[in-house]
Structure 1
C-alpha cells in the first residue's frame, strides 16, 4: 500500500512538472546558445545568461531530488534512473526530455495518437536534432579558439556534428581538445543508438506492411499482438 502511495505521489509530481521543465530545458539550451554564439553582447547579457543557466539547472536538481524522495526507493533510485542522473550531470542533454511531453499528454488522454513505429522514428529524429545542436554548441565553444583546431565557425561545428551523428565521419574537421573529443565520443554513441532505433523501427514497419499484403504475419507477431 505504501509503495502504491509513493508511485501515485511521484506520478502526480511528474504530471505537474513535465511541461514546465520541458520548456525550461529549451530555454536552458537557448541561453547557452546565446552565451556561446554572441560573444559581442554586453557583459550584463552574458551574466544574465549564466544566471539563467544556474537557475534552470537548480530547478532540474530540485526535480531530481523531489522524485528521489517521492519514489520511496532510497539508495536504489540512482541505479534505476541512471539516465536522469546523467542528464543532471550533463544539462545540455536535458532538452531530450522534451520528447516525453507528447507521451505525457497522450497518457492523460489514455490513447496513443501515433503508431508505435512512427513514434519511435519521430522521437529519434527530434533527439538527433537536439543532440546535434547541443553537441555543435559544446564543441564550438571548446574548439574555435584552440591552437591547431579545424572547427573555427559554428557552421563547421554543425557540419562536424552531422557527420559524427550519422557515423559518416569525413574527417575534414575534427576536435583537438579533450572536452571536444569527449563530446565527439558521446555523439558517436548517440548516433549509433539513434540509427539503430530508426533502422529497426523502419524495418519492422516494412515487414508488417508486406505481411498484411501477403496475408501473413511478420516474424514474432502473435495473434493477440496489437
Structure 2
C-alpha cells in the first residue's frame, strides 16, 4: 500500500470538510423548501414599552412571528374596536432565518389610560383568529424608574460632599498669597497687603516729605 504523504492527507481532510459544509447548506435549503410546502401558525406577543418621544405615553406593540405563508392580518384593538391604520406603525412582513415570517404593529397610548387593548391576528394556518389580551404592564418602566432614583441619589450625594468640603474650608478658599495694593488719591498713600486669609497689613507711606 502506498504511504500517503502529509500534504495529501491534509488536502483530503480539507476537501471532506468543505464537502460536509456544502452538504449542510443543501440540507438546510431543502428543509426550508419542505417547510414552505406546509403552513405554519403564528406565535403572537403583546407588550408595551415607554415611548421614546413622550414620557407620559407607552408604545404598545403586537408581534406575530413564525408564520407561513407570508399573508397576515394584524389589528390592534381598544375595547374590541380596531384602531385606525393611520395611527399604527407597521414593520411590514419580514423574513425569519428559518424561512417563516414576522410582522409587528405598534401604537402610542396614554400610560395612565384605563382601557382594554388586545391584538387580533388572522392567518391561513389557523381556523379561528388569535386574540391576545394586553396585561396592562410596561416591560421597561420599572427599570427606568430605578435609573431615575439612582441619578437623584447620586446628585444628592455630590451635593452633600460639596457642602461638607465647603464647610471645612477645603474648597472655596480664596488664594491670598499675592498682595493687593491700593493707592489713595491724596498726598498720603495707603498700601493694603493681604498676605494670608487671617491677617491684614496696612502700610502708610507719607509722600509729604519732612
Q: Give the shorter-chain TM-score range.
A: under 0.3
Higher helix proportion (structure 1 or 2): 1
Tell which structure's C-alpha radius of gyration is larger.
2
The alignment's TM-score, normalised by the length of structure 2, stands at 0.27
TM-score (normalizing by structure 1): 0.26
